[in-house]
Amino acid sequence: MMHITVALPDEAAQQYYRASEKLAEQLKDTGSQPPTAQVLMRFMLTAFSEEDITRHFDRALRNITGAAMPDEADLYVFSPDFAAAL
């Protein structure tokens, strides 16, 4: 098993802590031990295949850099020639 330390923005971490609290509330009558926020984070990290991870980050990086998306037509809010028409 590999152990890693990841800096997680507070807002993102809070999502997991709130989810853990909700699960604790939902499971209180069952006698089951609810997962901690850390367990939920581990579960989410292991829930994706290498293809899923690659596809997700490829899309995110293309959105950030403005690179063309594969298999998608270029869409413009305004035509590229719009500025020249003014």
**Which is higher by pLDDT, 73 or 1?**
1
Residue 20 region by backbone torsions, left for phi larger than 0, else alpha for psi between -120 and 50, else beta: alpha
Do 37 and 17 meet the contact criterion of CB atoms below 8 Å apart? Answer: yes
* 3 state DSSP class of 69: coil
Length of the chain as a residue count: 86
Q: Name every residue whose Cβ is closer than 8 Å to that of residue 41 and which is 6 or more positions away in sequence.
A: 8, 16
Instruction: Reply yes or no on whether the pLDDT at 86 is more than 60.
Output: no
Round to whole Å and give the CA distance between 73 and 10.
Answer: 37
Q: What is the pLDDT of residue 74?
A: 60
Percent of all residues in the chain with a pLDDT value above 70, rounded to a whole number: 81
**Model pLDDT for residues 25-59, shown as the tens digit of each residue:** 999 888 888 899 999 999 988 889 999 989 888 88
Percent of all residues in the chain with a pLDDT value above 90, rounded to a whole number: 35
